Structure formats: structure tokens, C-alpha cells
């Protein structure tokens, strides 16, 4: 195990020492490395890329550092295989795991990825007990539950990437359909990060105009279907891996809201304690993301159809957690 230090001193002028935030990304694969790039471009902090494979995080970190003069960012990006280099991180993004292959459902990934997430989280919290954790590894809603259980952290500091990505995809499809700027399109997707996700057309707008007034119901059905299958659509095109540009951009958006205490309202997998009638489980809901992590879960009204779809999504996640035999991993299942 070795570390390549891309030394760039933290700006320091004696007493008025200014320190950048420290962000660790575990898993220097497609999603992890691209997340490092977005974080660097946004200068959100110094980034430590960690992977189990020797050389890969070091090589990618160095490559990113060599891109920094071109883009003019001063975040230091370091690659390592050693968790000691992650010590004192403010935020840890976990992408370690195996990616979905064609014909593989997110649930097929469950056993391999849950043991990877377990090992990773144990190490992460040992060295960064104050960190916020964003989980990216799929199947997301189950992995974030496992991560939270293993971490022993308050649920407000452990969350998962789901709706930020799914709503970005829905926004892209709405903008394509209407030939309008993506900047003006807002969309909301709640529920699990799986085929049972719940894209909410009533809460999707173009500059405040409900999309229901701009796109007829049948076309919108098609867009919603495409959003539900968006991850699979990329997998079937790539053939050897899953999406990474949009996932990494979406996780960087969540990171930015936390690091800069922006308090943006972004749908993500959060621990519900009665909200939306869900107790003791993670699922995608709109949350306020700030320096304290998930600062609030925003409860919006759901009509009959949305409520039915959301319940279906809750059941699907419950079944996945049941299939995991969580107690055999040494995790106490405290769901009611
Ligand atoms: N510790 C650290 N890194 C690990 C470990 C581990 N125990 N196990 C695997 N990894 C690393 C791999 O070496 C690899 O570099 O995780 C990385 C995963 O990268 P990719 O295979 O490129 O997968 P990626 O496309 O980045 O997806 C990662 O995000 O969107 C989800 O479903 C996706 O669960 C998958 C995850």
C-alpha cells in the first residue's frame, strides 16, 4: 500500500489559517474519479481518493492534479490505499462496489456490495468520526441503511444519492421534449432509487409552469417511464458498466449544498422516522441539505396515485432489506 502525495500546501498565514474542507471518496472507479473532478472544479475542498486497487487512485489523482492548472482549480487531489490518509474528513462519499452489468438488476448486487460497504464504513468512521456520509453504491436504499447501521452516526449525517440523480434525468428528458433550457426545468423524483421510483409530474415545472400544462399526459407517461429505466438504458448502451457522468454530477451537487451550507431542497435517500408514513427506513424524499446534513425532511402532499406508487416503492425496499439477512452481518434490524 502506498500513497502519492500531491502536495499543495493548505493556505496558511499564521493565526488566520484558512483550511479547506477535506472530502474523501472511497472507490476510485468511474463514479468516484468523476466525482473528484466535479469537486475539484467546484473547489469544494481537498479530495482524497481511496481504492482497494493499488495505483489506480494514485494515478487518477495525479492525472486530475495535472488537469487543475488548465481549469484553474487549487483543490489538492490525493490518491491512496490507506484509510489513515482519510483521517479527519468532513465528508465521505462511498462509491466502492461492483457496478451493474447488462441483465443484472440492482438487487443482484446486494450481497457483494453490502459486504464492501460494511468494510468501508467501519474504516471510514474509525478515522473520520465527524464526517457526513453520502452513499452511492447500489442497490442504494439498502446500502445506505447498512452504512447507517454500521456507522453508528446520527441519521442526519448519513444519506444516499437517489433523487438528485433521478430528478436530473427527468429534467433532462423534459428539456429535450420541450426544447427549452435545462436551467428552467425543475423536477421531483421520490421513492427508492430503483424501477419503483416515483417521478412526480405534478411537482415538475418549467420556470414555474407545471409540466402538466406543457406536455400531454401520454407523452409525459413516456418520459416518466424513460426516467424509471434511465440507469438501465445507459447500462444496455455501455454494455460493460453503468452510468457515471450524471451520478457523479448529482453527488457533487449534494456535496456542495452540505459544504457551502446552501440548504438546497434536493430529493435524496434519508432516514424516515414517521415522515411519509415510513418508520425506521431509508427512502428518497425531498430534504433540506446543509452543514448539518439532512436538516429537514419536507413532506409534500401526494395524491392517490402518487401515494400508491410510493407505497409500492417502500415495499420493494423492505423486501430487499429482508432478503439481505441483515442480522447475519452483525447488524441489528431495528425496523418496526
Ligand atoms: N474498498 C475500496 N474500493 C473498493 C472496494 C473496497 N472494499 N471494493 C471495490 N472497490 C472499488 C473498485 O476497485 C473500483 O475502483 O470500487 C470502484 C468501483 O468503481 P467501478 O467499478 O468503476 O464502478 P462505478 O461505475 O464507479 O460504480 C460504483 O456506484 O452507481 C453505483 O451501481 C454503481 O454500485 C456501483 C457504484
27: Cβ below 6 Å to ligand 1? yes
Element (H, E) at 40: helix 30-41
Q: Are strands 46-50 and 198-206 parallel, antiparallel or unpaired?
A: unpaired
User: Among the atoms of ligand 1, which is closest to the Cα of residue 138?
Assistant: 34
30 is catalytic: no
Ligand 1 atom nearest the C-alpha of 53 is 13
Residue range 163-323 forms a domain whose CATH class is alpha beta
Distance between CA atoms of residues 128 and 132, nearest Å: 9
Q: What stretches in the chain show pLDDT beneath 50?
A: 11-14
The closest-lying atom of ligand 1 relative to the alpha carbon of residue 242 is 25
- Ligand 1 pocket test: which of 27, 31, 60, 242 has the largest number of ligand atoms within 8 Å of its C-beta? 27
Q: Which one of 98, 121, 230, 269 would you pick to mutate in the ligand 1 pocket, going by the greatest count of ligand atoms within 8 A of its CB? A: 98
The finding on whether 36 has its CB within 6 A of some atom of ligand 1 is no
Question: In the prediction, which pLDDT does 95 show?
Answer: 98
What residues have CB less than 8 Å from 99, skipping those under 6 apart? Answer: 29, 30, 241, 242
Q: What is the pLDDT of residue 331?
A: 78
Q: Which of 30, 34, 132, 193 is catalytic?
A: 193
**What string of DSSP letters covers 102-169?**
TT--GGGGHHHHHHHHHHHHHHHHHH-TT-EEEE-PSSHHHHHHHHHHHH---GGGEEE-SHHHHHHH
CA of residue 111 to ligand 1 center, whole Å: 14
Q: State which ligand 1 atom lies nearest to the alpha carbon of 241.
A: 25
For β-strands 209-210 and 264-273, DSSP reports them as unpaired
The rounded Å distance from CA 191 to ligand 1 centre is 24
The answer to whether the 22-160 and 163-323 domains have the same CATH topology is no
What is the spatial distance between Cα 166 and Cα 152, in angstroms, rounded to a whole number? 28
Which protein residue's CA is at the shortest distance from atom 6 of ligand 1? 52
* The predicted structure's pLDDT at residue 11: 47
- The structural domains of the chain, with segments of one domain joined by +, span 22-160, 163-323
pTM score, whole prediction:
0.94
Model pLDDT, residue 135: 98
- Ligand 1 centroid to Cα of residue 287, in Å, is 26
Dist CA 196 CA 191 (whole Å)? 7
- CATH homologous superfamily of 22-160 equals NAD(P)-binding Rossmann-like Domain (3.40.50.720)
Rounded Cα–Cα distance for residues 72 and 175 (Å): 31
Amino acid at each position: 500500500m502506498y500513497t502519492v502525495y500531491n502536495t499543495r500546501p493548505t493556505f496558511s498565514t499564521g493565526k488566520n489559517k484558512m483550511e479547506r474542507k477535506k472530502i474523501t471518496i472511497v472507490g476510485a472507479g468511474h463514479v468516484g474519479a468523476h466525482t473528484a473532478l466535479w469537486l475539484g472544479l467546484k473547489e469544494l475542498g481537498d479530495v482524497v481518493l481511496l481504492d482497494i486497487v493499488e495505483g489506480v487512485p494514485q494515478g487518477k489523482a495525479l492525472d486530475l492534479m495535472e488537469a487543475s492548472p488548465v481549469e484553474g482549480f487549487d483543490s489538492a487531489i490525493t490518491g491512496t490505499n490507506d484509510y489513515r490518509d482519510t483521517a479527519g474528513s468532513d465528508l465521505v462519499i462511498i462509491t466502492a462496489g461492483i457496478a451493474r452489468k447488462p441483465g443484472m438488476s440492482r438487487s443482484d448486487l446486494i450481497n457483494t456490495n453490502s459486504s464492501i460497504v460494511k468494510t468501508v464504513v467501519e474504516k471510514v468512521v474509525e478515522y473520520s468520526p465527524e464526517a457526513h456520509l453520502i452513499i452511492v453504491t447500489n442497490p442504494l436504499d439498502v446500502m445506505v441503511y447498512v452504512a447507517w447501521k454500521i456507522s453508528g452516526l446520527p441519521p442526519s449525517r448519513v444519506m444516499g444519492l437517489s433523487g438528485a440523480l433521478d430528478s436530473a434525468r427527468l429534467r433532462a428528458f423534459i428539456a429535450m421534449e420541450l426544447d427549452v433550457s435545462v436551467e428552467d426545468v425543475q423536477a421531483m423524483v421520490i421513492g427508492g432509487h430503483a424501477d419503483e421510483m416515483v417521478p412526480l409530474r405534478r411537482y415538475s415545472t418549467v420556470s414555474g409552469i407545471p409540466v402538466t400544462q406543457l406536455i400531454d399526459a401520454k407523452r409525459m407517461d413516456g418520459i416518466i417511464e424513460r426516467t424509471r429505466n434511465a440507469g438501465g438504458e445507459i447500462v444496455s448502451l455501455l454494455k460493460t458498466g453503468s452510468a457515471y457522468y450524471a451520478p457523479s454530477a448529482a453527488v457533487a451537487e449534494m456535496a456542495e449544498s452540505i459544504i457551502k451550507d446552501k440548504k438546497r431542497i434536493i430529493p435524496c435517500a434519508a432516514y424516515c422516522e414517521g415522515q411519509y408514513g415510513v418508520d425506521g427506513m431509508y427512502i428518497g424524499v425531498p430534504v433540506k441539505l446543509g452543514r448539518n446534513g439532512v436538516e429537514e425532511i419536507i413532506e409534500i402532499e401526494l395524491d392517490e396515485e402518487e401515494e400508491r406508487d410510493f407505497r409500492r416503492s417502500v415495499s420493494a425496499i423492505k423486501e430487499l432489506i429482508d432478503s439481505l439477512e441483515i442480522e447475519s452481518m452483525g447488524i441489528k434490524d431495528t425496523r418496526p
